[in-house]
Structure 1
Amino acid sequence: MRRFAVLLLAGIAVAHAGTPQRIVSLSPHATELLFSVGAGDRVVAVSESCDFPEAARRLPKVSGYRGTNIEAVIALKPDLVVAWPGGNRAADLDALRRLGVRVYESELNTLGSILAEARHFSEWAGDDDSRRTAMRLAGEATAQIIALQRRYGDSKRVKVFYQLGAGRLFTLSDRHVVGEALSVCGAENVFGRLPLPAPEVSSEAVLAAKPDAVLVADPGSLAAVREQWKSARLFDARVADARVLGVDGARLHRPTLRTFAAVQTLCESIDRVRQTLR
């Protein structure tokens, strides 16, 4: 089992000269982290998918699924653009760099990297209080994950299929932060070793994997997914509903400080399944 304390040491923070005064954030997770550590007042624009906190919703939107509006970004005269390589077009980021805009790429795929990024972003807030707040929040999250790991990490392993929603069967592998969260909770991701972060699998593959539980990342799809696996007879009819559970995918998938509370709830859900396997 991977140990969180080790991962925490592998933070991805990269130092930049100078404290940015005008930040454009093109990533929902970066926007949320910036506000969490006191640098939100320096954010002058965001992407369309930046919906938390409420203050971020009121900022100009300069990016969306069609790409980034380069002219709109330049007009805001940012001294830093925070981008997400997995969600922003490389061509757009290259264009910004060619125009002299400093671009910082934030790609977080471990719990430790979330905390390292929070600490790094707090340096951009430009005051000691923000840095101390970030350190406190990071310390609390670290203690929380270590406690969960001690409580559940060496328990009976629960084999889980992590399903993103109803319909086509998309899941998350261990290349995504959810894979680490499942490990902390003492669960085995049955498709964790697949090479893509969000692969599509077949119902036959799920049946062959024989998971102990299905975790549904979209609670609104829970009823449909339960019917889906009842029809496929994945579980005995007497326990089928108890083995298909809804989890907080919105917080688990977006790597921010809110992710850690979602991991605790995830562990509790998995442990309820564990109790039925004894």
Structure 2
Amino acid sequence: MTVKGWMAGWLAVLAWGVCALAAAQPVTVTDDRGRTITLPAPPQRIVTILPSLTETVCELQQCHRLVGVDRYSNWPSAIESLPRVGGGIDPNIEAIVALRPDVVLVALSSRGSERLEALGLKVVALEPKTHADVQRVMGTVAQVLGLPPQEAGRLWRHIDAAVSAAAQSLPPEVRRTRVYFEVNRAPYAAGAASFIGETLARLGAQNIVPAALGPFPKLNPEFVVRANPDVIMVGARNADGMTDRPGWKRIRAVSEGRLCVFSHEEADTIIRPGPRMAEGARLLADCLRKHVQP
């Protein structure tokens, strides 16, 4: 072997050693419970029990580390064949344990976190409700994955720029549009304090549900009648029977046909506080553009 060849081989070994050492470094994060979780190395086997967290892992180009997801995770297509481990309110503890994850990413509101930890699993609980939360959670997920912080920063900048572009595409008349966004038929609404409400505000719309009521408050249907929104937005799975509620046919949005009923796929995109918020903003902008009053 020539000296040049020997040096090339030695440098390759050295580079491999440096990468291996970096990969073996412990990872320490603080989750939304205020708990500090330390992993001996960046996790290679991950279970997610919240669709937005699944999507964030994949958008950070780490889908291959997922070994199980919740029943509602349906994007991207790369996760279609993964085992399903229940949902946030009814996680299948036995199925999760059987997958031998290095870490389980859950919503703050998910049940089962304490039991999973009692069984020796590492659990990171995250709950994005606002734009600031989404940016922070993306940073925490990147940290859990052992990725440099600029990876999460790049992802957030794309979302932020897309929301701004969607806002700039709308006419000034949008600012007179009063909007009601129904998350589910209880009815729960997306208030001004939620990430959906913040997106609507950046698009120029006025949310009939004030921030003081919280991000996703449960409303008396009469509240919406009294507020009399110009536009109503709702997902298809929650739209049936909405306009048959007492008094709702008197609402301006209903009587004048200014309802945006999003398909299942569109609604999933809009209501998940994760990397597809950019597309969600475009869908909301399309609705406003269609129904804006000159």
Structure 1 length-normalised TM: 0.76
The aligned amino acid for 1:110 is: T
1:115 equivalent among 122, 130, 135: 135
Instruction: Measure the CA separation in 2 of the matches of 1:141 and 1:107.
Output: 18
- Whether the 8 Å CA contact 1:109–1:177 is kept in 2: the answer is yes
1:70 equivalent among 83, 93, 114: 93
Query: What residue is the counterpart of 1:258 in the other structure?
Result: 276
The Cα shift of 1:209 comes to 0.8
Instruction: Measure the CA separation in 2 of the matches of 1:156 and 1:64.
Output: 38
The aligned amino acid for 1:159 is: R
1:45 equivalent among 54, 63, 68: 68
Query: What residue is the counterpart of 1:7 in the other structure?
Result: none
SS at match of 1:68: coil
The Cα shift of 1:134 comes to 4.5
CA 230–236 in structure 1, closer or farther in 2 if over 3 Å, else same: farther
Instruction: Measure the CA separation in 2 of the matches of 1:127 and 1:180.
Output: 28
| 190-199 vs 42-51, greater mean Cα deviation | 190-199
The Cα shift of 1:163 comes to 2.6
- Whether the 8 Å CA contact 2:231–2:253 is kept in 1: the answer is no
1:246 equivalent among 226, 238, 261: 261
The aligned amino acid for 1:233 is: R
SS at match of 2:252: coil
2:224 equivalent among 206, 222, 245: 206
Counting aligned pairs with the same residue, the percent is: 23
CA 149–82 in structure 1, closer or farther in 2 if over 3 Å, else same: same
Q: Which runs of 5+ in 1 are unaligned?
A: 1-10
Instruction: Measure the CA separation in 2 of the matches of 1:206 and 1:69.
Output: 38
1:178 aligns with 2:196: yes
The aligned amino acid for 1:194 is: L
Greater C-alpha radius of gyration? 2
The Cα shift of 1:76 comes to 2.3
1:190 equivalent among 170, 189, 208: 208
CA 122–220 in structure 1, closer or farther in 2 if over 3 Å, else same: same
The Cα shift of 1:66 comes to 6.0
> How do 1:1-278 residues align onto structure 2 when only pairs under 5 Å count?
16-17=38-39, 18-64=41-87, 67-86=90-109, 88-89=110-111, 92-126=112-146, 134-149=152-167, 156-164=175-183, 169-192=187-210, 193-195=212-214, 197-202=216-221, 204-218=222-236, 221=239, 225=242, 232-235=249-252, 240-241=256-257, 243-247=258-262, 248-274=266-292, 276=293, 278=294
The Cα shift of 1:234 comes to 1.8
CA 153–189 in structure 1, closer or farther in 2 if over 3 Å, else same: farther
The aligned amino acid for 2:135 is: L
The Cα shift of 1:84 comes to 0.9
Q: Could you say what the CA RMSD is over the residues aligned between the two structures, in angstroms? A: 3.4
Instruction: Measure the CA separation in 2 of the matches of 1:99 and 1:109.
Output: 29
Instruction: Measure the CA separation in 2 of the matches of 1:73 and 1:169.
Output: 32
Provide Cα deviations, 1:199-231, integer angstroms capped at 9, x if missing partner: 1322x3222112121122327837x65676997
The aligned amino acid for 1:35 is: C
Higher RCO structure (Cα 8 Å, ≥6 apart): 1
CA 157–22 in structure 1, closer or farther in 2 if over 3 Å, else same: same
SS at match of 1:45: strand
CA 189–29 in structure 1, closer or farther in 2 if over 3 Å, else same: same
The aligned amino acid for 1:93 is: S
Q: Which runs of 5+ in 2 are unaligned?
A: 1-30
Query: What residue is the counterpart of 1:6 in the other structure?
Result: none
- Whether the 8 Å CA contact 1:153–1:186 is kept in 2: the answer is no
- Whether the 8 Å CA contact 1:115–1:257 is kept in 2: the answer is no
- Whether the 8 Å CA contact 2:93–2:116 is kept in 1: the answer is yes
Provide Cα deviations, 1:20-66, integer angstroms capped at 9, x if missing partner: 12111111111111111112111111122222222323112222366
CA 127–236 in structure 1, closer or farther in 2 if over 3 Å, else same: closer
